[in-house]
Structure 1
Amino acid sequence: MQTKDYLDRYYGGYDEDSRLEPKHGRVEFITTMSYIKKYLYAPGMRVLEIGAGTGRYSHALAREGYEVDAVELVESNIEVFKNNTQPGEPVKITQGDARELINYTDSTYDVTLLLGPMYHLFTREDQEKALAEAVRVTKPGGVIFTAYCMGDPSIIAFGFIKGNIHQLMDKGMLDMETFTPRSDPWDIFQLYRKEHIDSLREMLPVEQLHFIAADGFTEHMRETVDAMDDETYELYLRYHLTICERQDMVGWSHHTLDVFRKK
């Protein structure tokens, strides 16, 4: 099967639209939106979301007055995206591939979001193509947000805590000298370490602005976070947003956000 076939099968049976709804899931969403809003400051600014999924970010930004174009590969996600679109909402979605944005012109968008595709690209060549396309369509001085799934939190949580470490070893998903994770398209998710992300960014004509632990330690204590009363949860969010750029915390985060400006 092709990579898209695996993604169609996965997302066709997964409620992606509700992933960011529980308190633990909202931490990633709230963190990402708080940083996006640092660089969106005037209604009518143009946003492109590449790999928009079911549109959680696209719809939120469009409803605040920003002009949003969205690209998504998976048909089932596009259907949900369209069903979630409110009348008059300044957003439109097309089917497309992050590696080749053939319908989008150079230097068009103030902010470009690449919040999903890097999860599902398994070769260096494909990863570089997606990043280069995101930079290409962004205006000079515009800002790109790129999300990654990190390897070590998954090794700890899925491997050691849930008792699957020998399964990962037997499947060849770990380099047993460095414990660097390895993934194939049928594994669905590509896992990264920060040095890999840094090396991808360094080949781009960009200036890094932030490297963020999007959910920090939250996924390791999701039951605790979900059980918090509202006052405690708000305090936890304040704490998380205070420490989410501390580089000694980034390695614990299941999701990270690399933010950079096009030169």
Structure 2
Amino acid sequence: MQDEYLEYYANYDEEQRLTSQNITRIEFDTTIDQLAEFTQQAKTLTELGAATGRYSLYYANQGLDVTAVELVPELVEQLRANAKQQATNLSIHEANATAVSFIPDQSQDIVLVLGPLYHLQQQCDREAVLREANRILKPNGILAIAYVSRFFVAGLLAKMSPVLVTPDVLATLNETGLITAPEVDTFFRTGYFSTPAEIERLTQSCGFAMKKHIATDGFGRYIGKELNALTETQYQSWLSYHLSVCHEPSLLGSSNHGLVIATKCAS
């Protein structure tokens, strides 16, 4: 499964994903906005699953001491190229987010986990990432976790193809967070899709206290065509509205992405 995952991201244009459309821009803009109160006072930040560095480079350019960890060699190569192009200094490592022994204990103010949980299909691996985040965070350090809602994905399957609307496919997704149907592409076959309640339990069980739980996209993906057609001024108006309601609990399950921000509990 990991080989399939690596091949998928080796050929995927991750560089453009967060900037190419309004419905993907809102993910980045919301995450930056919701983390601002914590990053403004931070000095050190690690991103586990940094991809091509959209977040890592942003925060490095804001003056933070950034460590970026990424598993896919092609994405690491592009991250290095992006850092060079921007003349940005940060520490880059090709490694699995489940094991980052090269990062010292209690050395980070903030840890971002904005992608790995999408693809860690084993509970023990998801826990391992958060345990590593806990280990490297300073006391009261901040953790940010992104996840993909399995409730949103169920609707996406119905939109993709009626062939995927079967009791077996939907029950498997609902009960396990997995999609095993051969008709779906690699992202879905290698994916893991969470419920909002599950992510909260995972976060708390790994030694963190919840601070925020945010519907990163809100219901934007359901009006994607319309959002993508907005002018820049209109997009900023929509973003302002979205940021005013993204904490609404009733939006969590229907949002494509969710964002949990938590603080490391005292030992």
TM-score by length of 1: 0.91
Which residue of the partner structure matches residue 147 of structure 1? 146
Alpha carbons 1:217, 1:252 under 8 Å: kept: yes
What is the deviation of 1:199?
A: 2.0
What is the deviation of 1:67?
A: 1.0
> In structure 2, how many angstroms separate the alpha carbons of the residues matched to 1:67 and 1:148?
25
Which residue of the partner structure matches residue 9 of structure 2? 11
What is the deviation of 1:231?
A: 2.0
* Alpha-carbon distance change, 259 to 92 in structure 1, aligned in 2, over 3 angstroms: same
What is the deviation of 1:167?
A: 2.5
Alpha carbons 1:143, 1:260 under 8 Å: kept: yes
> In structure 2, how many angstroms separate the alpha carbons of the residues matched to 1:158 and 1:117?
22
1:29-61 superposed Cα distances (whole Å, 9 cap, x missing partner): 00001122210124x700000000010000111
What is the deviation of 1:182?
A: 2.2
What aligned pairs does 1:98-113 form with structure 2 within 5 A after superposition? 98-113=97-112
Residue number among 47, 62, 70 corresponding to 1:49 in the alignment: 47
SS in 2 for 1:141: strand
Q: Which amino acid aligns with 2:144?
A: F
Residue number among 198, 201, 225 corresponding to 1:199 in the alignment: 201
Which residue of the partner structure matches residue 27 of structure 1? 26
Identity over aligned residues, as a percent?
29
Name the structure with the higher helix share: 2
**Matched residue pairs, number?**
257
What aligned pairs does 1:1-263 form with structure 2 within 5 A after superposition? 2-3=1-2, 5-21=3-19, 22-42=21-41, 45-85=43-83, 86=85, 88-159=87-158, 161-164=159-162, 166-167=163-164, 169=166, 172-175=168-171, 181-183=177-179, 187-263=189-265
SS in 2 for 1:259: strand
Q: Is there any run of 5+ residues in structure 2 with no aligned partner, and where?
A: 181-185
Q: For the aligned residues, what is the CA RMSD?
A: 2.0
Alpha carbons 2:150, 2:174 under 8 Å: kept: no
What is the deviation of 1:188?
A: 2.1
Q: Which amino acid aligns with 1:169?
A: T
Alpha carbons 1:175, 1:182 under 8 Å: kept: no
Alpha carbons 2:98, 2:128 under 8 Å: kept: yes
SS in 2 for 1:192: coil
Alpha carbons 1:153, 1:251 under 8 Å: kept: yes
Moved over 6 A (4+): none
Alpha carbons 2:178, 2:189 under 8 Å: kept: no
> In structure 2, how many angstroms separate the alpha carbons of the residues matched to 1:14 and 1:116?
14
> In structure 1, how many angstroms separate the alpha carbons of the residues matched to 2:173 and 2:5?
30
SS in 2 for 1:191: coil
* Alpha-carbon distance change, 150 to 87 in structure 1, aligned in 2, over 3 angstroms: closer
> In structure 1, how many angstroms separate the alpha carbons of the residues matched to 2:53 and 2:138?
23
TM-score by length of 2: 0.90
Q: Is there any run of 5+ residues in structure 1 with no aligned partner, and where?
A: none
* Alpha-carbon distance change, 243 to 176 in structure 1, aligned in 2, over 3 angstroms: same
> In structure 1, how many angstroms separate the alpha carbons of the residues matched to 2:174 and 2:108?
39
Segment of structure 1 superposing worse, 98-107 or 46-55: 98-107
1:65-114 superposed Cα distances (whole Å, 9 cap, x missing partner): 11100000000100110111146423121111111112111111001001
> In structure 2, how many angstroms separate the alpha carbons of the residues matched to 1:51 and 1:14?
15
Alpha carbons 1:17, 1:54 under 8 Å: kept: yes
